[in-house]
Amino acid sequence: MKIAVLKETAPGETRVAATPETVKKITALGHSVAVQTGAGASASYPDDLYQQAGATISTDGGIGGADLVVKVRRPTEAEIGAMRSGSGFASLLEPYGDRGVVEALAKSKIDAVAMEFIPRISRAQSMDALSSQANLAGYRAVIEGAAIYGRAFPMMMTAAGTIAAAKVFIMGVGVAGLQAIATARRLGAVVSATDVRPATKEQVASLGGKFVAVEDEEFKQAETTAGYAKPMSAEYQAKQAQLVTEHIAKQDIVITTALIPGRAAPVLITEAQAKSMRPGSVIIDLAVAQGGNCPLSKPDALVEVGGVKIMGFTNLPARLPSDSSSLYAKNLLALLPLLTDKDSKAFAPAWDDEIIKGAMLSKSGALIHPHFASASA
Ligand code: NAD
């Protein structure tokens, strides 16, 4: 099949959906790849490297003739208009954020994959773009926090005096949070963490962090069978808030990563808790695009309140464009066999496969995903 790799248009987006390495592998599978001019430039993958890997370069990426179009982010209206009816599309669609795009794709008879809906099962780990990107976001959150913080992370005993180790508190121990704990520890910080999922207690300990949570009956049941956090009761939140209030006041850096799929991010640090931190402390909010874990955070802006610096990042993976593109492109490459007929190499999603059932939003003009099917096009 013909695969089109488009240049991202979202502001600040530096990633690209294919790298020269994956293009080489895709062409070796018998497909042809067209890359839109400059698609990989901001991720340090220039056009000539794609050409050497076997791709053609064109100003529109061959979108109109493609059987499958791939991107990192949602397609624009113009891109949806240019795609061929009956073709496939795959990207991080953020489907809860803009139902209109999902409906427009279905209406144009484009079979669309939302990469964030790839089920979290062992067989799909290599396709799990949420994890590949969250891991890098967690790492980068600590690096950004360290850069904003006006002090050092490790304890240093020097002739001129001793510098205390930074205290870093990670709120939300999913993929990003775990990598943030590991990164902050590598830099020499004293690390603690909290999460509503009981399973994280052991993970935090295994990375050398201290676990901070009210461990009552509700906490013990606070995980869905899919491994996601459940919304917690107001009563639990109040108890947890009290514990966390005392803890936060003593922290230098707080990194929040808590998300609940399809809902606004839970508030984990109130304005008062943020203000209780000493001047020079830093809060990094990774959930700012979903409303934020701290009401003071603003998307991609540094806010200073009483000397506390609050930074909300909407797209940390874009600050590591080469690595995030490389991993995302490999996620797509791993998914390709499930979108291809083995013999003819044509675009043919394996509709009965659990992974395709979980991640495919539309089929032949109809919205088929359980979360969106009620409004069929
Ligand atoms: P996420 O991005 O959805 O959320 C980040 C973290 O915030 C989660 O750990 C969540 O429990 C936590 N959180 C939510 N509300 C909170 C609150 N009020 N207070 C504190 N913490 C709160 O998480 P994720 O990184 O996508 O991971 C979600 C789940 O998927 C985890 O169980 C993870 O282990 C699992 N997972 C499985 C696989 C696999 O098996 N293939 C791959 C990746 C992730």
Are residue 46 and residue 113 in the same domain, yes or no?
yes
Among 297, 220, 202, smallest CA distance to 257 is for 297
Are residue 80 and residue 119 in the same domain, yes or no?
yes
Are residue 186 and residue 204 in the same domain, yes or no?
yes
Residue 311 CA to its chain's centroid (Å): 17
Look at ligand 1, atom 2, and give the residue with the nearest C-alpha.
259
Are residue 40 and residue 113 in the same domain, yes or no?
yes
pLDDT of residue 228: 78
Inform me whether the pLDDT recorded for 375 exceeds 60.
Answer: no
R_g of the chain, CA atoms, integer Å: 22
Domain extent, residue 121, equals: 2-128+321-363
Write the pLDDT tens digit of every residue in 241-275: 899 999 999 999 999 999 887 789 999 999 999 99
Inform me whether the pLDDT recorded for 118 exceeds 60.
Answer: yes
Q: Is residue 369 part of a domain?
A: no
User: How wide is the angle at C-alpha 110 spanned by C-alphas 109 and 113, nearest 5°?
Assistant: 140
Contact 353, 113 (CB under 8 A): no
pLDDT of residue 376: 46
Are residue 220 and residue 262 in the same domain, yes or no?
yes
Q: Is residue 373 part of a domain?
A: no
Residue with tokens 């999922």: 197
Contact 195, 170 (CB under 8 A): no
Are residue 166 and residue 123 in the same domain, yes or no?
no
Instruction: Say which CATH number the domain at 20 has.
Output: 3.40.50.720
Q: Give the pairing type, strands 366-367 and 68-70.
A: unpaired
What confidence category does residue 374 fall into, taking pLDDT thresholds of 50, 70 and 90?
low
- Those residues whose C-beta lies under 8 Å from the C-beta of residue 151, and which sit 6 or more positions away, are 163, 166, 252, 280
Look at ligand 1, atom 16, and give the residue with the nearest C-alpha.
258
Q: Which residue has the higher pLDDT, 236 or 328?
A: 328
Q: Is residue 370 part of a domain?
A: no
Inform me whether the pLDDT recorded for 314 exceeds 50.
Answer: yes
Q: Is residue 376 part of a domain?
A: no
Inform me whether the pLDDT recorded for 377 exceeds 70.
Answer: no
Are residue 229 and residue 100 in the same domain, yes or no?
no
Q: Is 228 annotated as catalytic?
A: yes
- Those residues whose C-beta lies under 8 Å from the C-beta of residue 89, and which sit 6 or more positions away, are 68, 69, 70, 71, 75, 83, 105, 110, 111, 112, 113
Q: Is residue 340 part of a domain?
A: yes
User: Which residue among 319, 337, 354 closes a domain?
Assistant: 319
pLDDT of residue 169: 98
User: How many Cα atoms are found within 13 Å in the side-chain-facing hemisphere of 287?
Assistant: 29
Of 42, 87, 108, 131, which one is the catalytic site residue? 131
Q: Is residue 122 part of a domain?
A: yes
Q: Is 240 annotated as catalytic?
A: no
pLDDT of residue 128: 98
CA-CA distance, 15 to 40, in Å (whole number)? Answer: 7
CA-CA distance, 236 to 252, in Å (whole number)? Answer: 25
Of 47, 51, 96, 120, which one is the catalytic site residue? 120
Look at ligand 1, atom 28, and give the residue with the nearest C-alpha.
228
Ligand 1 geometric centre to CA of 24 (Å): 34
- End-to-end CA gap in the chain: 26
Are residue 223 and residue 268 in the same domain, yes or no?
yes
Residue 244: burial class (beta carbons within 10 Å; 0-12, 13-18, 19+): buried
Contact 114, 126 (CB under 8 A): no
Q: Is residue 87 part of a domain?
A: yes
Look at ligand 1, atom 39, and give the residue with the nearest C-alpha.
120
Are residue 113 and residue 250 in the same domain, yes or no?
no
Ligand 1 geometric centre to CA of 336 (Å): 26
Among 148-157, 200-209, 255-264, the minimum mean pLDDT is found in 255-264
Ligand 1 geometric centre to CA of 48 (Å): 39
DSSP string over 115-151: GGGS--SGGGGGG-HHHHHHHHHHHHHHHHHHHHSSS
Q: Is 15 annotated as catalytic?
A: no
Are residue 145 and residue 15 in the same domain, yes or no?
no
User: How many Cα atoms are found within 13 Å in the side-chain-facing hemisphere of 206?
Assistant: 8
CA-CA distance, 313 to 292, in Å (whole number)? Answer: 10
Sign of CA dihedral 376, 335, 8, 321: positive
If you average pLDDT over residues 28-57, what whole number do you get?
98
Q: What is the dihedral of CA 185, 124, 109, 1, to 10 degrees?
A: 110
Q: Which strand ranges, in their side-by-side order, compose the sheet holding 88-91?
A: 56-58, 32-36, 2-5, 68-70, 88-91, 111-114
Look at ligand 1, atom 36, and give the residue with the nearest C-alpha.
120
Ligand 1 geometric centre to CA of 258 (Å): 8
Question: How many domains, in total, are found in the chain?
Answer: 2
Q: Is residue 368 part of a domain?
A: no
Among 187, 173, 178, smallest CA distance to 145 is for 187
Q: What is the pTM of this model?
A: 0.94
Are residue 71 and residue 146 in the same domain, yes or no?
no
Q: Is 237 annotated as catalytic?
A: no
pLDDT of residue 312: 98
Pocket lined around ligand 1, Cβ cut-off 6 Å: 120, 125, 128, 130-131, 134, 171-177, 194-197, 227-229, 232, 257-261, 266, 268
Mutate to test the pocket of ligand 1, among 116, 175, 284 (most ligand atoms within 8 A of CB): 175
Look at ligand 1, atom 32, and give the residue with the nearest C-alpha.
227
Of 44, 52, 85, 125, which one is the catalytic site residue? 125
Ligand 1 geometric centre to CA of 137 (Å): 14
Are residue 350 and residue 313 in the same domain, yes or no?
no
Average pLDDT of the chain, as a whole number: 95
